[in-house]
Structure 1
Amino acid sequence: MAELQGQRILLGVSGGIAAYKAAELVRRLQDAGAEVRVVMTASALHFVGATTFQALSGHPVRSSLWDEAAEAAMGHIELARWATRVLIAPASANTLARLAQGRANDLLSTLCLATEAPLTVAPAMNRVMWAHPATQTNVATLVARGVEVLGPATGDQACGEVGAGRLLEPAQIVAAVIAGAPPPRLAGRRLLVSAGPTFEDIDPVRFIGNRSSGKMGFAVAAAARAMGAQVTLVAGPVSLPTPPGVRRIDVRRAAQMRDAVLAELPGHDIYLGAAAVADYTPAETLPQKIKKSGETLAITLVRTADILAEVAAHPQRPRLVVGFAAETQDMEAYARDKLHRKGLDLIAANDVGRAGQGFECDDNALSVFWRDGRHDIAHGPKSRVARDLLSLVAERLEALR
């Protein structure tokens, strides 16, 4: 079951005995393919410990706006942007009141104001509290604003009473989230990605290569699969695991990468060339190791095939051809020149001379150019940068309809 593949759900847990059910909810959301991060209110921490949710979700649990380490980089805004849906379960009467009033006096309420993601709440409280006119008015206000309300259910309550106010069972909440989830942005699309360096052999021992780790291209392949695409990854010599659900073809040299890309090209909607392909290769590869014999050594290099240009001019050209430009100066000028000269639809440029991004790093930042536009993707983990890039690619592809 992967109905929520590609969904990033921010689960808010507010105070109430039903908070214990949120632990099972995390697991069920993950089983449906979602990535889950948890934010707890101060009251929720009195019922269930943060360690439980951290162990289940695999991510740190946030509970305070005053977390200096997280908020140094405006962590609450990053979380608000990360989510594709905010789900509050259980949602207490107090939480519903604060949301209806637009308050931002804790992390969870602040996130709900700062996000553009859809909001779903699953109320849980005593039956009298649920029936109170103030609670019903707050719920009506939220519904009028487009908030989805799941439940509550009717039955036995922890206080010993019977009536409406029980939290829906986790399976029911997940089913409702699945029913309301949009189809993955790249569902039905076929995407071909090239990633990593190429190694151009001089002899059996030595080669010419570059510093590309393949991390950005692999992040793109993983993100595209999570967004519903059928993904083929042509990978240079890297030591990275294949993203789940991605078909991988391993190559070493630029010529091998060209042959693999062109062989796979027919039928693909998107080609994204994230590989750092060598511009030159030795004119010949010697069969034996070159012995040290002088103060200098001359090696004749010849141009390699221009894979991006060939793909862009190919009779079976994908609808979108996206290139990468790793630059150390005049980034926009060089990127736009490459965009026009090679006939690309988009080019994603990054300044690899800047510390903390680009080659061999886990983070990156991109400036994406097209003929009459530009979009900057802020510095962050390559997984998030890849998602943002593919959202733009999907948007450009949809515009071609």
Structure 2
Amino acid sequence: MTTPSPRTTPRSGPLAGLVVADFSRVLAGPYSTQLMADLGADVIKVESPRGDETRDWAPPERDGVSTYFLGINRNKRDVVLDFGDEADRELAHELAARADIVIENFRPGGLTKFGLDYDSVAALNPAVIYASISGFGSKGGAALPGYDLIVQAASGLMSLTGEPDGPAYRSGVSVFDIMTGMQATIGILAALNHRNNTGEGQHVEVNLLSTALSAMANHSSTFVAGGQVPFRMGNAHPSLFPYEPLAASDGEIVIVAANDAQFVKLATALGLAHLADDARFAKTELRNRNREELRPLLLEALATATVAEWFETLTRAGVACGPINTIDGGVALAESLGLEPVVLVGDGDNAVPMIRNPIDFSLTPPAYRSAPPALGADDTEIKDWLRS
């Protein structure tokens, strides 16, 4: 008796029945495939004998496994294939031929010598949706290494991050890796819809630099539409005030007044209702231009109470605001709001606490079937299926 095809493995979710051959590693690709796995796709993670390098990116770790790896690889099955070995390479070809989706983030052209590039796979599987993730695209930037930090620097993001008179800073998160993983998922889902209508597979390409320029939205538009180069403003917003942390008596609280009505609420709650009628501050553009006159007036009022007290007072008044938490505080806030941010994935003592998928569905919710797999955890099952 042969092992059943993963296509027939019972699963739930809007992507149930789809098989994903995951030839990606590190962050952007694995984040994309975890999203699809949560939604029911059967994701088969293919690793070299050395394994995904993030398995070793520690500390921190949990039970000897990098928490980096754990955070982006749940709900997947795992097989080790050495593309340099002929027998393993043939199994990789067979997997690509049977998959609905193939996703990879090798340097452009890196899979050609193994016969696993788009053209080769499409010849075996014309209906395949094949997604490629790179740092700088497959044209002039094909040879450039695609690390998130390099793209943060080269795209201009770091020039926007930090104090005006200080050094440029990277984001505290590999923001363009994550965003590019999301863009890959959007592209794959759009291509699946096209295939459902036409039967045609296609090649989906995303890269970190294009994602970065798109994601910097208003800043990119400032240059391409307005002819101005944005600059570092610390925590300030170029077009709104207040829209930044402001000091209370024991720390800082983020306060947002993004329109005139919101500013009226803020001024009233601070006991400064007259400022809403002040000719210098009555309109968004005026508050922005006269922020250095307005800021000390707000700070004087805020100094009379603590962050916690102002958070309660301003929230009750309908003012958008929030404390500056560490991540544990962010998780606690989500818990207090009933968002249930943490799920246990896996069974018994091997269950791993993870952040839940952020999407809610009324009929087909995400499922948390299995903890991130050990290297080669499903070798026998997957290889037997591919040979059958």
Larger relative contact order (Cα-Cα within 8 Å, sequence gap ≥ 6): 2
**Structure with more of its chain in strand, by fraction:** 1
Provide TM-score, normalisation by structure 1.
0.30
Bigger proportion of residues as helix: 2
